Structure 1
Amino acid sequence: MAWIREIYLDEATGLLKRQLKAAIKRAGRIWNVVQVMSINEIALKDSIKFYQTVMAGESPLTRSQREMLAVVVSVENNCHY
């Protein structure tokens, strides 16, 4: 398993600190998928924007359908969702 350096909230500054605080506000915590991207704050920002577009943006699928698809993919990938 790879080891990836992470920057935690208590040592974050600027854009990264704002993104980590926003993650806590959104979800009540910083999920691992967000934390692991902390070393690249621009990639994290773009990833969150992409996720928000896919899950909440305009789509022929309902939000429930998108969530169901995410769960099925996670199960198939043996990933805890």
Structure 2
Amino acid sequence: MAHLRLIDPDDAGGPLAEEYEAAIGRAGKVFNIVRSMSLGPEVLHASMELYKAIMFGPSPLSRQERELLATVVSAENECYY
């Protein structure tokens, strides 16, 4: 089984700490999907910008439709987080 080293929020500094603070602001905690990118804060930042553009940017899809699509894709990929 693969193993990723994850940086805990208490151990984060600099840009990673800022990303973790933003994650807490969005979701109330730092989910493991966010922590999985902790060794590359610049990648984490880019990923979060893409997520925000997809979920909150201009689109003919409603917010509910976007969430439904994300849920269906995650379930199809057997990604339960």
Which position in structure 1 is the counterpart of 2:77?
77
Structure-2-length-normalised TM-score? 0.93
In the alignment of these two chains, the number of paired residues is 81
- Cα RMSD, aligned residues only: 1.0
Structure-1-length-normalised TM-score? 0.93
1:43 corresponds to 2:81: no
> Are the counterparts in 1 of residues 9 and 30 from structure 2 also a CA contact under 8 Å?
no
Q: Secondary structure at the match of 1:5?
A: coil
The structure 1 segments of at least 4 consecutive aligned residues displaced by more than 2 Å after TM superposition are none
Which position in structure 2 is the counterpart of 1:27?
27
Mind listing any 5+ residue stretches in structure 2 that lack a counterpart? none
Aligned-pair identity (%): 47
